[in-house]
Amino acid sequence: MRIDEAVALIRAIPDYPKPGILFQDITPLLGHGPAFTAVTDHFAQFARPATSIAGIEARGFIFASALANKMHAGFVPIRKAGKLPHAVFSQNYGLEYGTDVLEIHVDAIAFAGEVLLIDDVLATGGTLEAAIDLIHRAGGTVYQVLALLEIRALGGRARLASKYPQIPVQSLVIT
């Protein structure tokens, strides 16, 4: 399946989770095996050997863990507050419809390694910025950010570029 056919399965849900938000529902893509494989294969082009692949809860987990498995790499979960059982670093962040906290285990990055960071949507950039900060605090270096979707009007790419100009950002779909 071609990547454009795969991303065409994403459906927009207006006014979810609150009025004014146009939610991008990736579940049709995930439920279609060839589409999910096409996205994972596309993301694999950006993975370096012997690195860790980090994913942000919840939907970023799906792509990051699938890619880590494909690449025989370690998977690093970046979770919402209170979900990890060991000592953590925490980071507050803002998103387009509120605020939240992300956490990472203090020992999540083995050998101060390079990390490929994946999330489903790049919107304001707050979530990815928090995740990058957490990875750095845990001893890792983010060498690339991948997103399935990017909402250009919310300025997330510019936000990340101003704080982390050395980290390239790649999005499959830009709206």
Reply yes or no on whether 96 is catalytic: yes
Q: In the chain, where does DSSP find H-type helix?
A: 3-7, 27-30, 33-44, 59-71, 126-137, 156-163
Q: How far is CA 64 from CA 14, 33, 155, in A?
A: 27, 16, 23
**Active-site residue (options: 5, 11, 48, 96):** 96
Active site residue 137: no
- Answer yes or no: are the C-beta atoms of 131 and 67 closer than 8 Å: no
Catalytic-role residue among 2, 5, 48, 59: 59
Q: What are the catalytic residues?
A: 59, 96
